[in-house]
Amino acid sequence: MHRDGTRRSHRGLGPALVSVVLAASACASAVSDTAPQTTPAPTTLTPATDRGSSTVTAEDIDETTTGLRGAIAAGLWPGDPTHPYEGLRRYRGEVVIDEEWLAAENGGSRLVEGIEVDGNLVVLAPGVTLRYCHVVGDADANYAVQANREDGDARDLEISWCEIDHANHGGKALLVRSGVLHRLDVAGGEDGIHVNDAGPPGSLLISETYVHDQFRPPEHHSDAVQFNGDPGGPVTIIRSKLINHFRDANAPLMLSDVGEIEVVDNYLWGGVYFVVGGVAGHLEFRDNRLGWKSTEFGAFGVSEGAVRYEHNTWAPWIDPESIGPDGEPVVLRGPDPLS
Q: Are 159 and 132 in contact (CB under 8 A)?
A: no
* DSSP code of residue 335: P
Non-local CB neighbours of 109 within 8 Å, separated by 6+ positions: 39, 40, 42, 102
Whole-angstrom distance, CA of residue 318 vs CA of residue 291: 8
Residue 291 lies in a domain: no
Residue 111 lies in a domain: yes
Whole-angstrom distance, CA of residue 56 vs CA of residue 66: 12
Question: What pTM was estimated for this model as a whole?
Answer: 0.82
Residue 152 lies in a domain: yes
Mean pLDDT within 70-96: 95
Residue 62 lies in a domain: yes
Mean pLDDT within 74-100: 96
Q: Looking at 39-48, 138-147, 201-210, 256-265, which range is the least confident one?
A: 39-48
Q: Are 256 and 276 in contact (CB under 8 A)?
A: no
Mean pLDDT within 317-325: 51
pLDDT of residue 15: 28
Residue 144 lies in a domain: yes
Residue 336 has pLDDT above 50, yes or no: no
Distance of alpha carbon 200 from the chain centroid: 19
Q: How many other CB atoms are there within 10 angstroms of residue 257's CB atom?
A: 17
Non-local CB neighbours of 41 within 8 Å, separated by 6+ positions: none
**Mean pLDDT of all residues belonging to the chain:** 81
Q: For residue 165, what are the CA distances in angstroms to 52, 133, 144, 282?
A: 22, 11, 7, 32
Residue 275 lies in a domain: no
Q: Are 335 and 298 in contact (CB under 8 A)?
A: yes
3-state helix, strand, coil in the chain (%, to 5): 5, 40, 55
pLDDT, greater one: 130 or 14? 130
pLDDT of residue 154: 95
Residue 299 has pLDDT above 80, yes or no: yes
Q: Which amino acid is at 70?
A: G
Split into its structural domains, the chain has a count of 1
Whole-angstrom distance, CA of residue 182 vs CA of residue 187: 15
Residue 290 lies in a domain: no
Whole-angstrom distance, CA of residue 179 vs CA of residue 128: 10
Residue 310 lies in a domain: no
pLDDT of residue 296: 85
pLDDT of residue 335: 41
Residue 196 has pLDDT above 80, yes or no: yes
Question: What percentage of the chain reaches a pLDDT higher than 90?
Answer: 56
Non-local CB neighbours of 83 within 8 Å, separated by 6+ positions: 4, 5
What is the CA angle 126-127-132, rounded to 5?
120
Q: Which amino acid is at 116?
A: E
Domain that residue 213 falls in: 52-265
pLDDT of residue 48: 33
Query: Which of 290, 284, 251 lies closest to 268 in space, CA to CA?
Result: 290
pLDDT of residue 319: 55
Whole-angstrom distance, CA of residue 242 vs CA of residue 269: 7
Residue 166 has pLDDT above 50, yes or no: yes
Non-local CB neighbours of 320 within 8 Å, separated by 6+ positions: none
Whole-angstrom distance, CA of residue 139 vs CA of residue 170: 8
pLDDT of residue 234: 95
